[in-house]
Structure 1
Amino acid sequence: MIVQACLNGARTAGYHPALPLTPEAIARDAAICVATGANELHIHPRGPDLAESLGAINATIPSVRAACPGTLVGVSTGAWIEKDAARTRDLISGWSELPDYASVNLSEPDAPAVMDILDRIGVGIEAGIATVEGAERFVSLARQRPALRILIEINEQNPPDALALAEEISAVLARSQVNRPILLHGFDATIWDLVRMARRCNWSTRIGLEDGKHMPDGSQASGNRALVAAAIAICRGQ
């Protein structure tokens, strides 16, 4: 079971005082999370204006690798980052510093084209599935576009509904005999419910300020290290 640290996501500077945005801050926080026990990293690099940028990956990945040698590093390819499908494809094709894997949201129209580019340049695909429809679409693509793993990411904020949706998505994958590792995570109100579900199902999970800033007791976390430590404790049954 893997605990992945998702350090920043699409959050902006006012979200939390410890949110890492610059390459140096991301690398520093990544090293702290790995030392705490995180197995992998998921980051959203920023440009000089601190806005998300697929082009900034070339500057950020080396800093993170230097701080966390041997740790797998992933990024997002979300359509909202560049807001232009052609530009997104061009920037990914032009990466000179390759992450180990990249998340692709199956809800996005351009997902198959992005998956093809990642496969061509040798970057693993983390297939992001947030809906039953997304799971069904992935099943239809899986034979031609193999994925490193499946990322079940639940945005539903009512915990019982979130757990039910995760089960429905899992059932679609199971019926289709899609035999790929699963990483499950929630968002804001559901992060800890889904970390616990991941443990019960023996799936991997992720945690960090991208997904939420509150500890299991409802208090605000001091930063990513505290969130990672709490998730590891849950995964170990503590």
Structure 2
Amino acid sequence: MGFVLQACLNGAREPGSHPSVPITPQQLAADAAHCAEAGVTSFHLHPRDVVGLEVLAGPEVATAVSVVRVAVPRAEIGVTTGAWIVPDPVRRAELVRGWAGLAAGRPDFASVNVHEDGWLDVAAALRDAGVGIELGVFHERAARALADVGVPEGAVRVLAEVRPGEGPEEAGRLVDLLAPLGLPILLHGEDDSAWPVLDHAVARGLDTRIGLEDTLTTRDGTPAVGNAQLVAQAQAQVW
């Protein structure tokens, strides 16, 4: 696969946190279709239940993924396994392992945050379910821990995240620690670090992402209309 510009459509944003943040499968699908028109072929989303809460349960995951897949049939679709959704690591791994039977609703990949309790078990559950693994690395301590443990089977990329208040300098140190692992690195920021880190990723030839999960503002700091606008601005920088 060549360079990846991924669209992260909603993340943990609460309903109402932005007028355009997509919550329902139909809203996610509509946003994905608009972003695909700009050339995006990779999507990261957080499935929700009927009241808008994030879930890892198979039926809701399958519904979100399958509806989005109809809208963007040639794209890869990923989801989260965030520990804040199901704090019990044993139960979290059980739910993820159950994704094996989701058929058209099974995601292509899922992010696993290396700093979270039970992440290795969740990664193994994803492997058993036939779902690719994005290794979420939020700081240098997690990068070193991953290097010590080694890359789990089934990993497709490292999802390197630079936290708010940090910037290209921190991004550079994180990437330097992760590069020896030999996996593709998707580097992105969050909130005020989103655009500077995206530019740093592009300058280094790394995969990156943008969307309402990562920022609610455009490059010039004005409120974003929605995911498609953010993707269009990122696309102008990338291509």
Bin of the TM-score, shorter chain as denominator length: over 0.9
Distance between the aligned counterparts of 2:178 and 2:154, measured in 1? 14
The answer on whether the counterparts of 2:123 and 2:152 sit within 8 Å (CA) in structure 1 is no
Residue matched to 1:164: 169
Specify the code of the residue in structure 1 equivalent to 2:233.
A
Worse-matched range after superposition: 28-37 or 203-212: 28-37
Alignment of 1:1-238 (within 5 A): 1-55=3-57, 56-95=60-99, 96=102, 97-157=105-165, 161-174=166-179, 177-236=180-239
Distance between the aligned counterparts of 2:17 and 2:235, measured in 1? 24
Distance 1:62 1:201, change over 3 A: same
The answer on whether the counterparts of 1:104 and 1:115 sit within 8 Å (CA) in structure 2 is yes
Distance between the aligned counterparts of 1:10 and 1:228, measured in 2? 19
Distance 1:185 1:164, change over 3 A: same
Distance between the aligned counterparts of 2:152 and 2:187, measured in 1? 23
Specify the code of the residue in structure 1 equivalent to 2:189.
G
The answer on whether the counterparts of 1:37 and 1:228 sit within 8 Å (CA) in structure 2 is no
Q: Percent identity?
A: 39
Which segments of 5 or more consecutive residues in structure 1 lack a partner in the other structure? Answer: none
Give, in angstroms, the shift of residue 70 of structure 1: 1.4
Give, in angstroms, the shift of residue 141 of structure 1: 2.8
Worse-matched range after superposition: 118-127 or 144-153: 144-153
Give, in angstroms, the shift of residue 221 of structure 1: 1.0
The answer on whether the counterparts of 1:37 and 1:229 sit within 8 Å (CA) in structure 2 is no
Give, in angstroms, the shift of residue 144 of structure 1: 4.4
Give, in angstroms, the shift of residue 143 of structure 1: 4.5
SS of the residue aligned with 1:94? helix
Scaled by the length of structure 2, the TM-score of the pair is 0.93
Compute the RMSD of aligned alpha carbons.
1.2
Q: How many residues align?
A: 231
Scaled by the length of structure 1, the TM-score of the pair is 0.93
The answer on whether the counterparts of 2:65 and 2:107 sit within 8 Å (CA) in structure 1 is yes
Distance between the aligned counterparts of 1:145 and 1:154, measured in 2? 25
Distance between the aligned counterparts of 1:78 and 1:124, measured in 2? 15
Worse-matched range after superposition: 208-217 or 87-96: 87-96
Specify the code of the residue in structure 2 equivalent to 1:47.
D
Give, in angstroms, the shift of residue 31 of structure 1: 0.9
Distance between the aligned counterparts of 2:212 and 2:70, measured in 1? 22
Distance between the aligned counterparts of 1:100 and 1:197, measured in 2? 27
